Structure 1
Amino acid sequence: MNPDIPLYERDPQAWQEYLAEGNAKQPRKRVGADALIRDEHGRLLLVDPKYKPDWDIPGGMAEANEPPLDAVLRELHEEPGLLLPASELSLRCLDWVSPHGVWDDSLMFIFDAGALSEDQVADLRLTDSELAAFEFCTAEQAQERLRPYIWSRVSAAIEASKESRVFYLHNGVPV
């Protein structure tokens, strides 16, 4: 074989094996995708997961090879029974979270899903055993109920929504 010809041209199968080996060695990141959802009064939808000590915003972890937008849409359907078209969500925040406790680093997305109509709010249901409750809260109530690092991320996403921007954060702090 001619060493001047790149591997991917000389031996496509060997190239694929090389890429697969590299892929197997690369670190994996957990990905979470949550949504800012408001009612007609601007209050934020919070959920009370049974498996956490504090309230959260709706959403959850992406499954293997699932895009973050698909993950948040799935979680919104599974937990509060909300069906929204992808076109109604806008990315507002991406937070890189450093390793902490038993967890490796992760990427946490927040999408803005806008305000629900009165009918949509009336149709919300606890459709998943993971949640104990849901409630629409003012920003002050949300700050009291959310863990500080979650509130930091959520407040950045709220500000990004006001400015029609996307904020990039490290551990809840804008970069």
Structure 2
Amino acid sequence: MPSPISVSSGDGVARLQWTGEVNTDELRREIAEALVHHSRVEALVGAGDTRAQRAATWAGLHREGVRRGVGPDGEQQDQIVFARLVTDAPVHEPGGFRSLLNSFLPRKRAIAQMLVRDPEGRVLLCQLTYKRDWDLPGGVVEVGESPRLAVQREVEEELGLEVEPGDLLLTDWLPAWGGWDDAVCLVFDGGTRPAAALEEVVKQEREIRDVRFCTLDEVDELAADFTARRVRAAVEGDQPYTESGR
């Protein structure tokens, strides 16, 4: 019986295709044979074909991303890119298995922000260049970066202020919204600084339009509703976890 798996080659890459059910052991053998003469083996699997995705994963192919909008015959269909390199650690080794799992398990975006107040209890807000709403200083945590270091870095980059992050005040989950995936926002205590600290601010012009200390009523007026709820929850300090500030 002929194999349902076809192998093509080009640019030093072996490309696997199959239709219908495929035996994982057979797919694994085809991958191993292809890696004898190629440095990379890849397969494009339909985003809705969960059985084929499962077979590709358990045969040792890492999930690398999504090829959007182009199916095998030019139709509008997303395809998931699976691949294996000749240098990838064997799946039966702990490091190789963890790397395989890491390629397809969910990843959550993290945002780190800082709550800085003046002696009157007003909150430091930034007017951002890329959206209308005001927000707390901070930003996205980079891959491999701790949230605490991320917020310290962001405040220094955006405002030119060196502020040592204090305790974690709030963990706020943000649902998917407006083209963004969901995320977790961590708000750290930035302590109290005099109102004159605004004179020390060096705005990163590409991102920051204005900075000011705001009362909570002003926060409600200037910030998005979910941001205002998050700020109030962080200020009140009686809820360690919220979802969209609630």
Letter aligned with residue 169 of structure 1: T
8 Å contact kept, 1:80–1:128: no
27, 49, 59: which is aligned to 2:106? 27
163, 169, 174: which is aligned to 2:242? 169
Higher percent of residues as helix: 1
Does 2:223 match 1:146? yes
For 1:139 and 1:128, how far apart are their aligned partners in 2?
26
Identity, % of aligned pairs?
A: 34
Shift in CA distance, 83/128, structure 1 to aligned 2, threshold 3 Å: farther
8 Å contact kept, 1:33–1:71: yes
Report deviation, 1:12.
9.9
8 Å contact kept, 2:171–2:186: yes
Between the two proteins, the alignment pairs up a number of residues equal to: 157
Q: TM-score, normalization: structure 1? A: 0.82
Report deviation, 1:83.
0.3
Instruction: Give the aligned CA root-mean-square deviation in angstroms.
Output: 1.9
Report deviation, 1:40.
2.2
Unaligned runs of 5+ in 2: 1-89
Letter aligned with residue 115 of structure 1: T
For 1:40 and 1:141, how far apart are their aligned partners in 2?
17
What aligned pairs does 1:1-175 form with structure 2 within 5 A after superposition?
14-86=93-165, 89-117=166-194, 120-160=197-237, 167-173=240-246
Letter aligned with residue 23 of structure 1: N
Report deviation, 1:155.
0.6
Q: TM-score, normalization: structure 2? A: 0.60
Max Rg structure: 2
Deviations 1:102-143 (A, max 9, x none): 222111011111111355343122134211110111111111
Unaligned runs of 5+ in 1: 1-10
For 1:131 and 1:105, how far apart are their aligned partners in 2?
24
For 2:93 and 2:232, how far apart are their aligned partners in 1?
48
Greater relative CO, 1 or 2 (CA 8 Å, sep 6+): 1
For 1:171 and 1:48, how far apart are their aligned partners in 2?
20
Report deviation, 1:65.
1.5
8 Å contact kept, 2:164–2:190: no
